[in-house]
Amino acid sequence: MTELNNKEFLIRLSDIVAKLSSIAKTQSFRLKQKWDDYLHNSSIEPYLIRTIPIDKSKFVNDNKYRIEILNITIQALADGFHAIKTLLKTIYESYFYSELFINEFSEQDQLIIKYLVAKEILGNLIQYNKLDHETVPLKYNVVARNYSLIKLKAQKDKRILENMNKIFGNQKLELSTIQNILKEIEKDGLIKITKKDDNSNLYEIKNELILSDEGQEKYNQYLSPLIVWPTNLWRSFYNIRELNITPAQDIKNRETLEKILSRSATQGFSATNNVFQNLLKYYQNIDS
């Protein structure tokens, strides 16, 4: 692991904040552009990531300024999370009921897209799904979390329940809830349910999440750029592995800083937010 002295670390940190500033600007522009292209009829506005203004030289040399920018960065990190949540909310509570969606896609493609969007976003962003499992209706969330598993091998309801409760944490789902949801999914034609001798249910894929040729073409043209946006944001904005360094002996409260930076090895909102929250406290203590 790279060892950095105090000046080198501050330069590295300023580089990371500048990188996040650039990502925030680029990704906000892309979201607004795609939103205006395809979700402009929604009454909901996109939740954009605030600008992170940074003077790298001042950040390195002025602790008060550094604290100010770290505060803004923390707020921007939260903005990214809320941007994803707002996009999902708009899609599931507004767009899927709009004339645009209903007129653009056949009924069968409409049904599949509702599952497909959840699978593409929540299926890729497990950490996000652990923090937000309310915005997307449960039946789509169940498919997002279990589609690949069931496709690989038929699964029992208890296994699906176990998989769902990994993201629901303390808000555990009941087996009866999962069974009822899976019956709804069966009615939509996606899965087949077989009753086993031990009174359990076995679930297998009946129809895959495949759109018609026309539906796939329209999905790729209109929806796909919006659907891939959360994953692109998450994997770039919440990735600060360059901060996973060893502080040199000249750094004040070296052990504290080393412990803070160890979380940067993990990608995702929670780890990134934790690092910046604690860096803020670290530099506030230095300034006091």
* Mean of per-residue pLDDT scores for the chain: 94
pLDDT at 206 over 80: yes
Q: Do 60 and 115 fall within a single domain?
A: no
Q: Do 38 and 73 fall within a single domain?
A: yes
Cβ-contact 70, 276 below 8 angstroms: yes
Q: What is the pLDDT of residue 41?
A: 83
**Arithmetic mean of pLDDT, 113-124:** 96
Q: Do 130 and 180 fall within a single domain?
A: yes
In a domain, 183, yes or no: yes
Output the domain CATH number for residue 168: 1.10.10.10
Q: What is the pLDDT of residue 61?
A: 96
**Which residues constitute the domain of residue 11?**
3-94+228-287
In a domain, 216, yes or no: no
**Arithmetic mean of pLDDT, 275-281:** 98
**Arithmetic mean of pLDDT, 138-167:** 94
pLDDT at 234 over 80: yes
* The total number of structural domains that make up the chain: 2
Label residue 139 by pLDDT band (50, 70, 90): very high
Q: Do 169 and 247 fall within a single domain?
A: no
Burial code of 245-277, b = ≥16 C-beta within 10 A, e = fewer?
A: bebeeebeeeeebeebbbbbebbbbbbbbebbe
pLDDT at 288 over 70: no
pLDDT digits (tens, 9 = 90+) for 44-85: 999 999 999 999 999 999 999 999 999 999 999 999 999 999
Domain boundary among 162, 180, 211: 211
Label residue 195 by pLDDT band (50, 70, 90): confident
pLDDT digits (tens, 9 = 90+) for 1-42: 689 999 999 999 999 999 999 999 999 999 999 999 889 888
156: left (phi over 0), alpha (psi -120 to 50) or beta: beta
Q: What is the pLDDT of residue 144?
A: 95
Label residue 170 by pLDDT band (50, 70, 90): confident
Domain boundary among 176, 211, 246: 211
